[in-house]
Structure 1
Amino acid sequence: MMRKNMEKWETKSAIVILNYNGSDLTIECIRSLRECSELLNIVVVDNCSTDQSYEKIKKIFEKDKYTYIIANNENAGYAAGNNVGLRYIEKNLEKVETVCIMNPDIKVESVDTLYHLYEALWSEEKLAVITAQTIYNGKLRYPNDFGWKHLTTKYMLLGGTLLGKIIKTSIRYSSIDVNPENIAYADIVQGCFFMAKLKLFKEVDYFDEGTFLYEEEAILGKKMQRAGYKEAVLINEFVYHNHHEKDKKLIKRKNKIFDMTCFYNSRKHYVKFYSEISEIKKRLICTYLDLDLFIKKMIIRL
């Protein structure tokens, strides 16, 4: 790879990392990226942490001219927090044309992975979003968690619910078609790590801030489809997702209930505004989801 081409790509790209009470993980993530590249723009949004994360991260990277630390004045969730970073890039980093959304528990082992994603993304005019395959907690699962179909009516009703444990449903691909460039198209790609063309992302008004957590990628996939754009996976590149930290936090009952509530609220938001079913079906599904959440909360509190 020619260094000149690399520098051109790096200076025209930016990575958005959303932090909330996880400064150690975020600092490790930034350092890992800096081992890959000194020139990549890194925008860190601290989502109104309560553990002095902003001060800790700012102190360590204040002399890094390509790392920008932003303090959000409220924790409005994943979508709104990432949008703060995206709009900062839009207003302040004029050269940037490509953005990467990256959770702090994601590790990219080589800058080549990012460069190859960049090349693949810009190889097709209508391709708006691309991701890599993911090694999840040390394991590569197949069908992998990198891409899904749009939510079906059955999945909107049963996916993640108590009844769904009995009546199985899935939006995973049983097989994937891969073109000669190792690109596989998907309706939805994972939200923990993906690259997007900033102009097209802006065209659909970035993430929908009607959710706090969950379903962001499903909503984005639907927005891109409605705008006439595609999403895809570059199957010969890999990133690593260490999800153990979130799993540990969900051990606490209070955290479980909050997490579940976010999930059900986001699912209902998708049903109301992004599904293409009748209003009667929407109301029935949302009523069932409310009941399912109520039962789950009762079980946890027992």
Structure 2
Amino acid sequence: MVVLNWNGADDTIRCLHSLDAAALETPFRVLVVDNGSSDGSVGRIRREHPDAEILELPSNLGYGGGNNAGFRRAEEMGADEVLFLNNDTVVDSGFALPLLTVLRGEGGAGAVVPKIFYMANPSLIWYAGGEVSLRSGLVRHVGLRRHDGPRFSRPGTTGYATGCCVGLRVGVVRALGGFDEAFGMYAEDVDLSLRLRAMGLRIVFVPSSMVWHRVSGAFEGRLLRKLWLRTASTVRLLQKHGTPFSVPLFLLLLPLRLVPAAAGMFFSRLRREESV
């Protein structure tokens, strides 16, 4: 289990507490990768979790760079599978076994992803699979801001894995070359998913595994910056994987998508504030 931390000790400590409970049911090792924090995170995490293995990086390498460093360390530790987990999450005590069972089984599963809910509204879905259209640049979560129900509880192949929580076999990550660090922030997970699918492997949604996510914890109060980063990363994604018409069509449709995206982020922030 690789948990990436950057100036987020509160989130990481809460995440580790939930992982402690989960490891009692399905044993696994946790590696915290500190991405050059400057807020004393490492000391606080060590005081709360003295047995935690922490990889300290000298500077912030971003999502892709930090997780790639964590993967290399997990490989050195002899891992066969690796689960990448955002630090601003908590997990169900039984979340690991369903993911590992599918990942270790037959059927060409290259990656596995759980059902993910909003932490501020625990019955509201954040991710129940992913859809991606390289023609128009549409990248979206299935079930976003919908209440849970049978339609979101069916396991099966999905379009892309969210980097919030994704499990892969070590050999697959090695063959893919890890995350593309050129993205910097956002779309690294979609890029990895598309490359994995090009290898003939499937991304499997496993709804019996559940996680709760404090959405956008790293971008509190910076809505415009988040929208800009997401847009720039999608353009890079389409340049890499799309057709010659993908970027122009994406930019043409962008105003129609920014309004609901901004509204969704705004209301998610309100829910977090109301839950405090």
Output the TM-score relative to the length of structure 2: 0.78
Give the Cα separation in 2 of the matches to 1:213 and 1:289.
22
Q: How many residues align?
A: 246
Poorly superposed stretches of 4+, deviation over 6 Å: 286-292
1:127 corresponds in structure 2 to 109
Q: Which of 135, 138, 143 is the aligned partner of 2:121? A: 138
Contact in 1 for aligned 2:130/2:142 (Cα 8 Å): yes
Change over 3 Å in CA distance of 1:289–1:258 after alignment to 2:
farther
Quote how far apart the aligned CAs of 1:93 are.
0.8
1:45 corresponds in structure 2 to 33
1:30 corresponds in structure 2 to 16
1:223 corresponds in structure 2 to 195
Quote how far apart the aligned CAs of 1:61 are.
3.1
Give the Cα separation in 2 of the matches to 1:287 and 1:243.
25
1:93 corresponds in structure 2 to 77
2:263 corresponds in structure 1 to none
Quote how far apart the aligned CAs of 1:259 are.
2.4
Quote how far apart the aligned CAs of 1:171 are.
7.2
Secondary structure of the 1:225 match is helix
Letter in 2 for 1:17: V
Give the Cα separation in 1 of the matches to 2:10 and 2:143.
35
Change over 3 Å in CA distance of 1:208–1:289 after alignment to 2:
farther
Change over 3 Å in CA distance of 1:250–1:226 after alignment to 2:
same
Contact in 1 for aligned 2:4/2:87 (Cα 8 Å): yes
Contact in 1 for aligned 2:109/2:204 (Cα 8 Å): yes
Contact in 2 for aligned 1:146/1:190 (Cα 8 Å): no
2:271 corresponds in structure 1 to none
Quote how far apart the aligned CAs of 1:194 are.
1.8
Quote how far apart the aligned CAs of 1:79 are.
1.2
1:83 and 2:68 correspond: yes
Quote how far apart the aligned CAs of 1:153 are.
2.0
Change over 3 Å in CA distance of 1:71–1:285 after alignment to 2:
farther
Contact in 2 for aligned 1:129/1:232 (Cα 8 Å): yes
Secondary structure of the 2:167 match is strand
2:42 corresponds in structure 1 to 54
Quick check: which has more Rg, 1 or 2? 1
Change over 3 Å in CA distance of 1:201–1:105 after alignment to 2:
same
Contact in 1 for aligned 2:186/2:229 (Cα 8 Å): yes
Quote the RMSD (CA, aligned, Å).
3.0
Contact in 1 for aligned 2:103/2:110 (Cα 8 Å): yes
Contact in 2 for aligned 1:214/1:262 (Cα 8 Å): yes
Give the Cα separation in 1 of the matches to 2:162 and 2:204.
10
Quote how far apart the aligned CAs of 1:285 are.
5.4
Percent identical residues:
22
1:262 and 2:224 correspond: no
1:189 and 2:157 correspond: no
Output the TM-score relative to the length of structure 1: 0.72
2:134 corresponds in structure 1 to 152
1:69 corresponds in structure 2 to 54
Give the Cα separation in 2 of the matches to 1:139 and 1:196.
26
Give the Cα separation in 2 of the matches to 1:289 and 1:206.
31
Secondary structure of the 2:31 match is strand
1:162 corresponds in structure 2 to none
Range that drifts further, 131-140 or 210-219: 131-140
Change over 3 Å in CA distance of 1:133–1:153 after alignment to 2:
same
Give the Cα separation in 2 of the matches to 1:171 and 1:24.
27
* 1:186-225 deviation per Cα after TM superposition (whole angstroms, max 9, x unaligned): 0102221121111112111111111121112211110111
Give the Cα separation in 1 of the matches to 2:142 and 2:20.
34
Matches within 5 A, 1:278-297: 278=244, 281=245, 284=248
Letter in 1 for 2:228: T
Structure 2: state its 5+ residue gaps.
Answer: 145-149, 257-276
